[in-house]
Every structure is written in structure tokens, then in C-alpha cells.
Structure 1
Amino acid sequence: MMTILAYIGAALAEIGGCFAFWAWLRLGKSAWWVAPGMVSLTVFALLLTRVDSDAAGRAYAAYGGIYVCASLFWLWAVDGVRPDRWDIAGGLICLIGTSIILLGPRAG
């Protein structure tokens, strides 16, 4: 459960941090948006180190599905664009992949 919470927190922190740069460079917001964005990206990196995994690459791979779904949530909640059936299907496929990576039996 802690792994899932770390992934969700990391996804929100990464998207928020990247959005700060998007707001500055694409939406014409003040460069001051970068400061909280950098803090948010630091939180993202710290949270990923809290994931229970035997290898960094596996932790990052499993995180990908959570990130995709969090991005679709951001699309709806922040950008005001409702995800369509293809977005939802893609997100579900990503979560299936994440589940296989996280829950699959390991040799050894």
C-alpha cells in the first residue's frame, strides 16, 4: 500500500512540477512559477526512492502506469478536458502493465 501511495504522490509532484514550467513557458506566467516547480520535482524524486523495489529500473517502469493515469486525471481536473474512451482504455492498459511489474512472481 505504501508503494502505491508513494507512486501517486510522486506522479502528482512530477506533473505539478512540470506544469509549473509549462505555465511559465507556454501560458506566459511569471518565472517565479519555476521555484515551486523545482520543489515539486524534488519531492517527486524523493518519493520514488521510497518505493519498495529491488531495482530502480523496475520501480520506474511500474511508476509509468501510475503517471499515465495521474496525467489523465490532471487533464480532466486542471486542463478541463474530459478524457475520452481511448484515454481511459490506454490508462487501464498501463495499470495492467504496472500491476504485472509490481505483483509478478520473481525468481530467486
Structure 2
Amino acid sequence: MVVLRSIVLFVLAALAEIGGAWLVWQGVREHRGWLWIGAGVLALGAYGFVATLQPDAHFGRILAAYGGVFVAGSLVWGMVVDGYRPDRFDVIGALVCLVGVAVIMYAPRQ
């Protein structure tokens, strides 16, 4: 149950951070305005809060593992929201990152 909770929190964190960054991008690069930027800043703040809910107490471990989730999640976001088509090297790289997440977060420790 702890692993499932951790995975759900990583997905929520990815949605908040990637979504927040995307909203800021849209506000600035696509000239959609301050409302989009403000929503992005709020989402990025939510990401920081969600990360604190992880069951593991080590900030460095959480953020290191989240980096791999961010890589994979960014590619998925690009596919769903922007129509980006990752190539096989994008997919392989994302899978390597997710294996790294599993090792960092869920390897048995003593």
C-alpha cells in the first residue's frame, strides 16, 4: 500500500509540475496572458506541496526519483496535450528513468 500511495503521489506531482510549467509556457510563449501564468505558478506551488506527502522522509531521494517521473511524464504530456510523437530513443530513455525511480524509491533497504 505504501508503494501504491507513493506512485499516486508521483503522478499527482507530475501533473502539477508539468501542468504548471506548461501553463506558464502558454502564458509567456503563446501570449495567453497573466491568468495562465498565475495558474501555472499555483500549480507549481501545488507540486511542491504534493512532494512533501511522500512516505519516504528523505528530500534528496524523493526529488532524485521524481526527476525520472518528470522525464517520462513530460513525454506523455507532450503526446496528450501537444501532439508530440516521441521516437524510440525517447521511449527507451524514459523507461531507463523509470527503472531508476524504482531502484531509488523501492529497493529493499536495511
TM-score by length of 1: 0.93
Partner of 1:4: 7
Partner of 1:52: 55
Cα deviation, residue 106, structure 1: 2.2
Percent identity for Structure 1 against Structure 2: 39
Unaligned runs of 5+ in 1: none
Aligned pairs, how many? 107
Mapped to 1, the partners of 2:13 and 2:107 lie a distance apart of 22
Cα deviation, residue 69, structure 1: 0.9
1:49 maps to amino acid: T
SS at match of 1:54: coil
SS at match of 1:20: helix
Partner of 2:38: 35
Q: Deviations over 1:53-76 (max 9, x none)?
A: 131000111111111111000110
2:101 maps to amino acid: T
Cα deviation, residue 39, structure 1: 1.6
Cα deviation, residue 52, structure 1: 1.2
Mapped to 2, the partners of 1:24 and 1:43 lie a distance apart of 18
Mapped to 1, the partners of 2:93 and 2:78 lie a distance apart of 14
1:40 maps to amino acid: A
Partner of 1:99: 102
2:54 maps to amino acid: V
Runs of 4+ in 1 over 4 A off after TM superposition: none
Mapped to 1, the partners of 2:61 and 2:96 lie a distance apart of 17
Mapped to 2, the partners of 1:100 and 1:10 lie a distance apart of 19
Contact 2:24-2:38 at 8 Å conserved across structures: no
TM-score by length of 2: 0.91
